[in-house]
Structure 1
Amino acid sequence: MLIMMTTGQPDREAVPFWFDPLCPWAWITSRWLLEVEQIRPVRADWRIMSLAYLNLVQREGKGLSKDYRDLMTKAWGPVRVCAAAAEYGGRGVLGPLYTAIGTRLHNQRRRDDPSVITEALSEAGLPESLAEAAASTQFDQLIRDSHHEAFNEVGLDVGTPVLQIAGTYLFGPVITPAPRGEAAGRLWDGLVMVASTDGFFELKRSRDRTVKPSFE
Structure 2
Amino acid sequence: MDKNQQGIQYMQEGKWEEAAKIFMEAIEENPKDAVSYINFGNVLAAVGENEKALSFFEKAIELDKSAAAAYYSAGNLYFENENLEAAKNMFEKAMQQGLNSSDNFFMLGLTLAQLEQPRLALPYFQRAVELTRDDAEAHFQYGLCLAGLELIDEAIEQFTVCLQIDEKHADAFYNLGVAYGYKEDGAKALAMFEKALEVQPDHMLAGYGKKLMEKDE
- TM-score, length-scaled by structure 2: 0.22
More helix by share: 2
More strand by share: 1
User: Which of 1 and 2 has higher RCO (CA within 8 Å, sep 6+)?
Assistant: 1
